[in-house]
Amino acid sequence: MVEDEPEIQDFLKQPLADAGYEVDAAKDGRSAIQLASGKKYDVLIVDLGLPDQDGIDLILQLRRSGISSPVLILSARRSVDDRVKGLEQGGDDYLTKPFALAELLARLRNLLRRNLVTSEEASRLRVLDLELDFISRRASRGGEVLNLSPQEFVLLAYLCRHAGRVITRSMLLSEVWGMRIQPNTNVVDVHVYRLRGKVDTEGREPLIKTLRGIGYVLKDR
């Protein structure tokens, strides 16, 4: 999400997380380019009135960089000319402010479905016999669907994207829960414990390993 208004960022973050989305937020074009260059996103929400550049220029820059993630433009610019320009310059959908949260979520789902048609493999992630479907927000292991909460899906997705690498508790607090200040909390341990109970059930090879005093690693081979 590229949005310079803190109120809108705060308004969107929790509902998006509740819907099962893992959200990274940038307040300007420069931060957005840095994030998008290091990570593939399923969908981008881009405001046009950014402090350091116009959102249309940002979208063009993203496309020139080979970033093809669907873009939902979220803007106070309401004229037909603005909307046509946004769609012709690389946006995939356009929603004007003020907006209804339900409509935003519906448009995101629609963009993800459309992206699935053109890039089905990109919507899925597989690690050994563990598979995540980012369109349906469903995970399965050995073909059996795992009954995960939205937060557990986001947590598992992060571990899968970094399979084979050591992930510290601080990294999970920051990237999954959005906590930039590290509080004295056991929220990570509690959620990983619950997630492990659903992923590494009896009779299956344990995939989520604990590194005492460090963090976790998801086995990838």
Q: Alpha-carbon distance 137 to 65, whole Å?
A: 28
Contact between 106 and 120 under an 8 Å Cβ cutoff? The reply is no
Residue 137: predicted pLDDT: 77
152: its two tokens: 């557990």
Alpha-carbon radius of gyration of the chain: 18
Q: Give the pTM.
A: 0.55
Contact between 113 and 120 under an 8 Å Cβ cutoff? The reply is no
Q: At what angle do helices 187-199 and 150-161 cross, to 10 degrees?
A: 80
pLDDT in tens, the chain (221 residues): 999 999 999 889 888 888 878 899 999 999 999 898 888 888 999 999 999 999 999 998 888 777 878 899 999 999 988 988 888 888 889 999 999 999 999 999 888 877 665 555 557 788 999 999 877 778 999 999 999 988 888 889 889 988 898 998 888 887 777 666 666 778 889 999 999 999 999 889 999 999 988 899 999 88
Residue 53: predicted pLDDT: 92
Contact between 44 and 72 under an 8 Å Cβ cutoff? The reply is yes
